[in-house]
């Protein structure tokens, strides 16, 4: 499975949280979890809710430490001990979290340019790029709205382009379209594929939605119930560009959907 | 009118807001009437009426003594506020960087908070004399803890998910403090100021009761020693006005810096 070109690789990753007061041990959330992501690959990971998908991405982004195992970034070993964490790996790994995590005291435009500001990269060029992204996700005209004045879907889109705007080579996404309605979701998925096709970034996309996992990914990993391991792997042969408006009709979709559904039972 | 409505902590329907200013004037008039009545009842040598009191304030204003004493009290309160308030507000930001230091210092801070500052006043006088410095340190010792505990509450309510987001996006420790921790804490610091500013002024006044040769507290205490009840009451009124003015300024800057917060809906109470 591993290859020298892998953008990101994890080997035998395991995680358990500190025991709760009055409890001697807490259960393993991840155990022996291994996979790798190729350069410019769109990898989707599908698992039931509560299986540890968010926990996994928190470890990959180094927001949280691992209990065991290792991670390699472009072949280089990364220390995953809690004391040595380097969140985002110097802006090489972007993370679109499950919650939008917009800053409530900043307007939309200040929120989406926040990483650029932190990195000292806010200039005319990046601002022009930002305008393009705002347009792509239909947020033009809301620049000066505060997050509480936006709908859930708009906030989600804002958090998505906040990460896309600073162009990290690897992007982790945690059910980014979980909380939006069906039509908007299809639109956002289509936008994401288009943006990905333009920049060809490496994406690790986590979801509990089997259809979404197959429709978007080059490769689908199936996670077991807790403790999570990779139990199946599928290469998605559906050619790109894919028309997501009726992906149920795409060649080979139905069979794979049935297979994954049974694997998750 | 809208300024009145916005200063209310709860939403009031537009149709009823119109009456708020009239209601306030009515209540104020009723208070003056009660005051005047109390003055007749108790005798004006015990409780001078509003007319005599405001006449005195007018005299004081003309003789510039009002201005001088107010300025002394205000300066003491302001300097104490800056000394204690900035220190008290800054300490939580430093303690946040070291959970161990926070844990270690906790019992000492609560013990120090428990010491009645009024009881320390004689000590301050011994150290610093009866000049302005004594009152400044006295005010600072009161204000420090009010700002510290409110600042601490703000620090503890920082959303770790926002911190993680910022870190992933490349924020340094300083940028996290500046962008996430500071903005989360500002509303708590305003809540602290709302309590601390009036306390700073009354702290300065009480300090002047004990040892001073000028200031509004000195004026009140001096009037008392001359059995001049009009003077005592006039002094109290001026202190109250000072507090009201300071509060109004605070309210304005708070409204400006917290404009991002969700506005109250026009729901019916
Ligand atoms: N901070 C935490 N402390 C203790 N247990 C946690 C914590 N976060 C998640 N868990 C546990 O880890 C498991 C996986 O959670 P999560 O990664 O959020 O699942 P998913 O994202 O797949 O829905 C759950 O059983 C959850 O209770
Ligand atoms: Mg999750």
Is the model's pLDDT at B267 over the cut of 80? no
Q: How far apart are CA B109 and CA B114, in angstroms?
A: 9
Cα–Cα distances (Å) from B56 to A44, A156, B225, in that order, read 81, 64, 17
Is residue A54 in contact with ligand 1, taking CB distance under 6 Å? yes
Overall pTM > 0.80: yes
Comparing C-alpha atoms, which of A96, A47, A10 is closest to residue A221? A47
Domain A1-18+25-86+208-265: give its CATH superfamily: P-loop containing nucleotide triphosphate hydrolases (3.40.50.300)
Chain A residues with CB under 8 Å of B169 CB are 88, 91, 94, 114-115, 118-119, 162-163, 166
Number of domains in chain B: 1
Query: Looking at residues B79-102, what average pLDDT do you find?
Result: 94
Band (B265; pLDDT cuts 50, 70, 90): low
* pLDDT at site B269: 43
Q: Is residue B151 part of a domain?
A: yes
Which of A2-11, A241-250, A254-263 shows the lowest per-residue confidence on average (mean pLDDT)? A2-11
Is the model's pLDDT at B1 over the cut of 50? no
Cα B121 to middle of ligand 2, angstroms: 57
Comparing C-alpha atoms, which of B7, B68, B49, B33 is closest to residue B244? B7
* pLDDT at site B6: 52
Is the model's pLDDT at B9 over the cut of 70? no
- Angle (CA) A119-A122-A126 rounded to 5° is 115
Q: Is residue B192 part of a domain?
A: yes
ipTM of the prediction: 0.93
Report domain extents, chain A: 1-18+25-86+208-265
Q: How far apart are CA B105 and CA A110, in angstroms?
A: 37
* pLDDT at site B134: 93
From B104's Cα to the closest Cα of chain A, the distance in A is: 21
* pLDDT at site B228: 93
Domain containing residue B247: CATH number: 1.10.3720.10
Q: By residue range, what is the domain housing residue B210?
A: 64-257
Is residue A227 in contact with ligand 1, taking CB distance under 6 Å? no
Is residue A19 in contact with ligand 1, taking CB distance under 6 Å? no
Is the model's pLDDT at B12 over the cut of 90? no
Continuous segment of H or E residues that includes residue A152 = helix A152-165
Query: Looking at residues A49-62, what average pLDDT do you find?
Result: 95
Q: Is residue B162 part of a domain?
A: yes
- Kindly determine whether residue A91 and residue B170, on different chains, have CB atoms separated by under 8 Å: yes
Q: How far apart are CA B76 and CA B132, in angstroms?
A: 7
Pocket test residue of A46, A52, A225, A226 for ligand 1, highest count of atoms within 8 A of CB? A52
**Percentage of chain B with pLDDT > 70?**
92
* pLDDT at site B55: 93
Q: How far apart are CA A145 and CA A134, in angstroms?
A: 13
Cα A52 to middle of ligand 1, angstroms: 6
Q: Is residue B115 part of a domain?
A: yes
A219-223 and A42-46 beta bridge pairing: parallel
A68-73 and A6-16 beta bridge pairing: antiparallel
Cα A55 to middle of ligand 1, angstroms: 6
Query: Looking at residues B9-20, what average pLDDT do you find?
Result: 72
Query: Looking at residues A78-95, what average pLDDT do you find?
Result: 93
Pocket test residue of A17, A96, A206 for ligand 1, highest count of atoms within 8 A of CB? A17
Is residue A27 in contact with ligand 1, taking CB distance under 6 Å? no
């Amino acid at each position: 499975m591993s290859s020298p070109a892998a953008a990101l690789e994890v080997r035998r990753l395991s995680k358990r949280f500190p025991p709760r007061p009055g409890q001697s041990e807490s259960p393993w959330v991840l155990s022996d979890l291994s996979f790798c992501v190729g350069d410019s690959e769109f990898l989707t990971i599908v698992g039931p809710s509560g299986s540890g998908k968010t926990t996994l991405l928190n470890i990959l982004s180094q927001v949280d430490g691992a209990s065991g195992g290792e991670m390699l970034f472009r072949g280089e070993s990364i220390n995953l001990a809690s004391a040595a964490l380097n969140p985002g790996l110097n802006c090489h790994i972007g993370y679109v979290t499950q919650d939008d995590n917009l800053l409530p005291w900043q307007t939309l435009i200040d929120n989406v340019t926040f990483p650029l500001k932190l990195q000292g990269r806010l200039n005319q060029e990046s601002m022009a790029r930002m305008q393009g992204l705002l347009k792509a996700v239909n947020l033009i005209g809301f620049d000066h709205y505060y997050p509480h004045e936006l709908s859930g879907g708009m906030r989600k889109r804002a958090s998505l382009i906040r990460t896309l705007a600073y162009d990290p080579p690897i992007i982790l996404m945690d059910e980014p379209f979980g909380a939006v309605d069906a039509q908007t979701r299809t639109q956002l998925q289509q936008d994401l594929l288009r943006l990905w096709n333009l920049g060809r970034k490496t994406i690790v996309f986590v979801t509990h939605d089997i259809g979404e996992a197959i429709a978007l990914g080059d490769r689908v990993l199936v996670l077991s119930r807790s403790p999570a391991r990779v139990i199946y792997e599928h290469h998605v042969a559906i050619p790109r560009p894919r028309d997501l408006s009726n992906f149920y009709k795409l060649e080979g979709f139905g069979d794979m959907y049935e297979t994954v559904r049974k694997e998750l039972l | 009118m809208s300024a009145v409505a916005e200063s209310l902590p709860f939403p009031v329907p537009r149709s009823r807001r119109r009456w708020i200013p009239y209601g306030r004037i009515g209540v104020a008039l009723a208070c003056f009437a009660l005051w005047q009545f109390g003055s007749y009842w108790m005798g004006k040598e015990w409780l001078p009426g509003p007319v005599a009191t405001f006449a005195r304030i007018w005299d004081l204003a003309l003789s510039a003594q009002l201005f001088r004493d107010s300025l002394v009290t205000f300066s003491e309160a302001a300097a104490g506020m800056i000394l204690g308030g900035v220190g008290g507000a800054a300490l939580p930001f430093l303690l946040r960087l070291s959970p161990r230091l926070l844990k270690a210092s906790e019992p000492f801070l609560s013990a120090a908070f428990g010491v009645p500052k009024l009881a320390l006043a004689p000590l301050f006088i011994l150290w610093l004399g009866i000049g302005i410095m004594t009152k400044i340190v006295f005010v600072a010792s009161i204000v420090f803890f009010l700002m510290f505990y409110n600042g601490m509450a703000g620090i503890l309510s920082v959303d770790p998910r926002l911190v993680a987001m910022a870190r992933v996006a490349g924020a340094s420790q300083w940028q996290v403090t500046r962008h996430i921790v500071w903005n989360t804490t500002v509303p708590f610091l305003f809540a602290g100021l709302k309590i601390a500013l009036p306390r700073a002024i009354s702290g300065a006044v009480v300090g002047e009761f004990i040892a001073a040769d000028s200031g509004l507290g000195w004026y009140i205490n001096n009037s008392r020693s001359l059995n001049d009840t009009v003077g005592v009451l006039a002094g109290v009124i001026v202190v109250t006005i000072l507090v009201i003015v300071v509060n109004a300024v605070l309210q304005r800057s708070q409204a400006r810096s917290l404009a991002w917060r969700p506005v109250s809906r026009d729901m019916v109470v």
